[in-house]
Amino acid sequence: MNFWLKQGFNFNGIDDYGSVKLTTKKDDISLINVDENNWTELTSLKLSEE
């Protein structure tokens, strides 16, 4: 946790599954499990100019 806080992330609570939620100053970040049901959604992600 200390590593991520030093990288500029902020603690944003714990989700329903007990996972720690971290945010940056700009955006919320979520970590999810990737499986055969949702992996195709990841292939369409694009980076913004920012």
pTM for this one?
A: 0.42
Over range 36-45, report the average pLDDT: 85
Quick one: pLDDT at residue 25?
67
Which residue matches tokens 């700009």? 26
Distance CA(15)–CA(6), nearest Å, equals: 22
Average pLDDT for residues 9-16, to the nearest whole number?
Answer: 89
Q: Which helix (H) or strand (E) holds 5?
A: helix 2-6
Q: State percent of the chain over pLDDT 70.
A: 88
Computed over every residue of the chain, the mean pLDDT equals 83
Q: Give the pLDDT score at 3.
A: 92
